[in-house]
Structure 1
């Protein structure tokens, strides 16, 4: 099978969409499924190869981390794409990639699928706060409904997202398929080395947040939680890794609350050994986002035996269900802090929770998710070309 993917974001831009695409492409390749990705060119990014087509892109003033692909430059690739024998087109983002991917699928007479990675209904308000939230919500719903109904199939990372799209009026087949965890995520990491490197004493009890430092991630709630927690547990330290548009505001809030000895911002960590070391060093992973379509970082932490405490909103709900290796926190900073304190005070129970976390994460392995995606592709091809069957044996 041969799939053309297209996305408005990819590495070196670090976010959940980039990680999901890379994880699925690698796991599909191991199953013999070929894929070619169309993605923006970024300054300093790797050049084209046969399986990664970098498209000239524009700087976006309101969102300097991202780039906008030039539609005309994508069209210049059409003749080449026609010779590659693709079986389906898979769109990962709703901007230039959506319209370009749909155009390619129609031109090549191929089935077109999309993964709905981002919960725009809640996301937009943080970036266009001058408009009333009800207006933005209504726009996001109409926009998403229109785009999804143009697809042959829509993939969503969680049941909560499938329910949301159904409520929007999406009438195309919805397939729930989360991003899996690669096998290497379950190994490695040296927590002692990490603590020594960053001058963190063995007596400090570490809470960890990993992800984009953005308004929709609700990191301010975690700062409020730490403000409560430090009164009863002065040893607590929250590590915030990643960068993003909310960083300066959160640093200012940390200063205002007098949390400089209880919160540290580490910036981006290398996704290989350095991030693994960080996960291993943490006593608990904490998460308060209400807009996640999946919450992949929760599984990354659990794969390395770090228990999770999080709000059970949207996609995170599927991971937290059953509370094995994790705990669902109340949506109140003070009560969230109380739960953290209880867990940190019971070493044996915390260790048991870490063992459960790893066992839970094993159920979300990338290999299994890729096998399911291959079947979704095959069904889309069979529906589009009834005489063809590409389903794996």
Structure 2
């Protein structure tokens, strides 16, 4: 290619995608969706998910996979060859499984969001086609490896693999500045760029009162009840135990509330058991996975606080989603997800301690004007739409491709 085309052909590669609903799967979808709408043809390359069929605006190509017993519902790609399956619903009609050789797609740039099967395939495509590979570091892999592998030498080998993957990429992005020290600690010393995430949720300020009312009906809570919400994976790495123990402290203080957990994961059973042991079953509800974004929007609108004490996440989409509905979050001080949050101004910061976290929640709910002002500032300072983020992304892609062909 001698000159930059008006429309770039891009591939977005990640091992998690629908029906999985984690944050990086959402990032993957929104990249492909908005790039396809605004910048040129884009597709997703991900691992197969058994009997799931895609119904997206853009092509989705699936790598053969096997279930990960240690991390349901995740799956591991078992090949990095080019023959991939496209399983699609069009207009509600099931189409036959189609096969495509992804090496035949004339990509101008490929962007991986994980270093595993799909990420290796993106790397192979980039080298074979002589095009740039962009990769984004989203996940703290060390805790996952330590939990899954147990043995230190195996963890060291896995970490070396991750480090070498990022070293071989042409451009490495992170979602915020707080993530940079994590990747540096993993041994990566190359250049890094910050490219923030966005959210697909939005409501005009004038719509929020009605959405809040509808959310109250949806969650079956009276107007005078404090509602807390957590949206995300139900795994211990997300520090969900801290939420439950802090709720117990609030309950002992006689503070009325309803806690709503949205999502699922291998730790849900243990969470439900602990809630029962503490006598909180009437005040805590586990809703499971909610795929309807309008339902999620109304749940955020009705909530009074978003509880997200994760020390595991490098960046939280759910905090941005909550901010879109004027909902402030309670996060852990000095955690990566606390970037951009000023205590009492656009959110609330607590320590990684059940009593301090509970006290932070109590401080927020007992001062309505403070809480509402923090929600408004969260919207002003933390919210950004995916469309606006992808405008930045596509301009950076164009710069990368242009410089690549000037080498």
TM-score when normalising by structure 1: 0.89
Q: Describe the superposition over 1:100-139 as per-residue Cα deviations: whole angstroms up to 9, x where unpaired.
A: 11111111111111111111123333444x445xx67645
Residue aligned with 1:319, SS: coil
Following the alignment from structure 1 to structure 2, what is the Cα–Cα distance between the partners of residues 182 and 47? 18
- 2:13 corresponds to which residue? 6
- 1:375 corresponds to which residue? 395
1:149 is displaced (CA, Å) by: 0.2
Q: Describe the superposition over 1:196-225 as per-residue Cα deviations: whole angstroms up to 9, x where unpaired.
A: 233322232111111111121110011111
Structure 2: which 5+ residue stretches go unaligned? Answer: 1-7, 86-98
- 2:91 corresponds to which residue? none
Of 29, 40, 46 in structure 1, the residue corresponding to residue 47 of structure 2 is 40
1:245 is displaced (CA, Å) by: 0.7
CA contact (8 A) 1:58 1:68 kept: yes
Deviates more, 1:364-373 or 1:269-278: 364-373
Of 263, 275, 281 in structure 2, the residue corresponding to residue 254 of structure 1 is 275
1:233 is displaced (CA, Å) by: 3.3
Residue aligned with 1:259, SS: coil
Using a 3 Å threshold, how does the CA distance of structure 1 residues 146 and 323 change in structure 2: closer, same or farther?
farther
Of 118, 122, 125 in structure 2, the residue corresponding to residue 101 of structure 1 is 122
1:179 is displaced (CA, Å) by: 1.0
Following the alignment from structure 1 to structure 2, what is the Cα–Cα distance between the partners of residues 164 and 50? 33
- 2:160 corresponds to which residue? 142
- 1:289 corresponds to which residue? 310
Structure 1: which 5+ residue stretches go unaligned? Answer: 388-393
- 2:68 corresponds to which residue? 60
Of 181, 200, 205 in structure 1, the residue corresponding to residue 221 of structure 2 is 200
- 2:372 corresponds to which residue? 351
Following the alignment from structure 2 to structure 1, what is the Cα–Cα distance between the partners of residues 347 and 241? 21
Q: Describe the superposition over 1:270-301 as per-residue Cα deviations: whole angstroms up to 9, x where unpaired.
A: 34111111101111111111011111111110
Using a 3 Å threshold, how does the CA distance of structure 1 residues 221 and 322 change in structure 2: closer, same or farther?
closer
CA contact (8 A) 1:330 1:336 kept: yes
CA contact (8 A) 1:123 1:291 kept: no
1:83 is displaced (CA, Å) by: 4.4
User: 1:1-393 maps to which residues of 2 (within 5 A)?
Assistant: 1-42=8-49, 43-46=51-54, 51-71=59-79, 74-75=82-83, 80-128=101-149, 130-131=150-151, 138-139=156-157, 141-182=159-200, 184=202, 190-321=211-342, 324-362=345-383, 364-386=384-406
Following the alignment from structure 2 to structure 1, what is the Cα–Cα distance between the partners of residues 296 and 224? 21
CA contact (8 A) 1:60 1:67 kept: yes
CA contact (8 A) 1:308 1:326 kept: yes
Deviates more, 1:113-122 or 1:194-203: 194-203
TM-score when normalising by structure 2: 0.86
Q: Describe the superposition over 1:12-39 as per-residue Cα deviations: whole angstroms up to 9, x where unpaired.
A: 1110111111222233234323312112
1:173 is displaced (CA, Å) by: 2.2
Using a 3 Å threshold, how does the CA distance of structure 1 residues 140 and 84 change in structure 2: closer, same or farther?
closer
CA contact (8 A) 1:8 1:69 kept: yes
* Aligned length in residues: 383
